[in-house]
Amino acid sequence: MKKQVSLALLGCGTVGGGVVQLLHQNAKYLAERVGAPLEVTRVLVRDPDKERVPELSRDRLTTDPDAVLGDPTIDVFVEVMGGEEPARDYVQRAIDSGRGVVTANKMLLALHGPALVDRAIARGVDLAFEGSVGGGIPVIRVLREALASDWVTSLRGIVNGTCNFVLTRMQKDGKSFDEALREAQAKGYAEADPTLDVDGHDAAHKLTVLAMLAFGARVDHAQVPTEGIRAIEAIDHAFASRFGYAIKHLAIGRDRGDAVELRVHPALVPVDQAIANVNGVLNAIALEGRALGPCLLSGRGAGDMPTAVSIVADVLDVARAKRNGAAGLMTRGIQLSERKVASLDDVETAYYLRFEVFDQPGVLARITGALGEARVSIQEMVQKGGGDASGAPVQVVMMTHIAKERDLRAALGALAGADFIARAPHVIRVVE
């Protein structure tokens, strides 16, 4: 067997710990696959005294980035520290030094992915990022390799395990938002800053990465419309279920030719669709290929070991490519061109609208009148509460037919400030 493959970890928290454990558990088998043992020789962290997985030798730890990035014996850098800076600087330095990089950092890729891909191609090294989307689900490989012969026309995914875990806990176990989020954090699913999860930014980062591979799109990530799950209440789950839907946090992408439609938001999904039944920390990505038709990938989308599976598989690919004189080949296959992100105003979809209104004569007529004026047609409607002398607001829920977002917003704008409205309406898009 040849000389070892030396790995440097940039960061060793939840995911890095999983990588160390997986490398340890499968050491013999992995060495056979690469033709040399894989050895973690340097580990960059912030706090060298923190408790870490027992498989990690403490003598590998350092807080000095130059000691890691300047070590000429490293073959592959594994960036699992997260965030934009200094991760970008370190990844660039690793690429410039001619070594392959594996990263799970979707924020970095969403903000700088195309530039980093260009840089890696120019330097003839690989930049691999299977762990950045879908945890252990091999969606990046599927898009980059298995579907390379086809055009992906659209995708729809549950790509944030924390959001799916929280929504599932609220829906099925009656947990509060805060209780469910604390549980997700304790299990290691959430980002270091969990607002990235629950406000939708993590899913938007992943959607931007998926769009690079699915549509070859180099987009301005800031243009991706993004909404999180904080506004979803128990009553929305109950109404959704009554109408035959589940509420999921979705990342949606569509190649419209003139632009790519990319959006992240909670959505009502019909319960008879597979994706509506993907629960807990599971992720799922439904792809639609022009020749292939539908394809659904599902699995554990967050956590140390599922993500480590993707990262170590990338390490194998990068190490083997280098040994076989094919370094940079898989990254050269990523072809990107500038694409415009379609405005949300032009999106056409159906809507779930929940109005909290005072139960007075003429209220329904005012609401339906405003919607009708704006060409938004109602498909189904239900009122809950009222009929007593308390004067408490009632819930009026409407499911619309497909309408333009611009028109819906015009209708809601016309109703804003009306004296019969107790609280701003809740709007959730519906997917069919």
Taking the complex as a whole, how short is the minimal distance between the CB of residue 159 and ligand NAP, in angstroms? 10
Q: Strands 5-10 and 38-44: what pairing? A: parallel
Taking the complex as a whole, how short is the minimal distance between the CB of residue 116 and ligand HSE, in angstroms? 18
- Identify residues 120-179 at the interface with ligand NAP (CB under 6 A): 131, 135
Task: Let me know: does 392 contact 385? Beta carbons within 8 Å.
Answer: yes
Q: Does 44 contact ligand NAP by CB under 6 A? A: yes
Residue type, 322: K
Q: Does 38 contact ligand HSE by CB under 6 A? A: no
What are the residues whose beta carbons fall under 8 Å from the beta carbon of 203, sequence distance 6 or more? 159, 160, 163, 226, 249, 250, 251, 264
Q: Does 16 contact ligand HSE by CB under 6 A? A: no
Indicate the angle between helix axes 87-96 and 106-123, nearest 10 degrees: 20
Annotation says 206 is catalytic: yes
In the list ligand NAP, ligand HSE, none, the entry touching 82 (Cβ below 5 to 8 angstroms by class) is ligand NAP
Q: Give me the sign of the Cα torsion angle 96, 100, 102, 106.
A: positive
In the list ligand NAP, ligand HSE, none, the entry touching 328 (Cβ below 5 to 8 angstroms by class) is none
Measured between alpha carbons, how far is 194 from 198 in angstroms, rounded to an integer? Answer: 6
Q: Does 92 contact ligand HSE by CB under 6 A? A: no
Q: Does 314 contact ligand NAP by CB under 6 A? A: no
What are the residues whose beta carbons fall under 8 Å from the beta carbon of 198, sequence distance 6 or more? 162, 163, 166, 177, 181, 228, 229, 230
104 versus 350: smaller Cβ distance to ligand HSE: 104
11 versus 289: smaller Cβ distance to ligand NAP: 11
Taking the complex as a whole, how short is the minimal distance between the CB of residue 11 and ligand NAP, in angstroms? 3
Taking the complex as a whole, how short is the minimal distance between the CB of residue 221 and ligand HSE, in angstroms? 16
Measured between alpha carbons, how far is 407 from 412 in angstroms, rounded to an integer? Answer: 9
Taking the complex as a whole, how short is the minimal distance between the CB of residue 131 and ligand HSE, in angstroms? 8
What string of H, E and C letters represents the secondary structure of 82-148? CCCCCHHHHHHHHHHCCCEEEECCHHHHHHHHHHHHHHHHHHCCCEECHHHCCCCCCHHHHHHHHCC
Question: For residue 245, what is the enclosing H or E element?
Answer: strand 245-255
User: What is the size of the binding site for ligand HSE (CB under 6 A)?
Assistant: 11
Per-residue interface string for the shown chain with ligand HSE, residues 157-176, x marking contact by CB under 6 A: ---xxx--------------
Task: Let me know: does 141 contact 272? Beta carbons within 8 Å.
Answer: no
- Contacts to ligand HSE by CB under 6 A: 135, 160-162, 189-191, 197, 202, 301-302
- Which residues are catalytically annotated? 206
- Contacts to ligand NAP by CB under 6 A: 11-16, 44-47, 50, 80-82, 86, 104-106, 131, 135, 188-189, 191-192, 302-303, 307
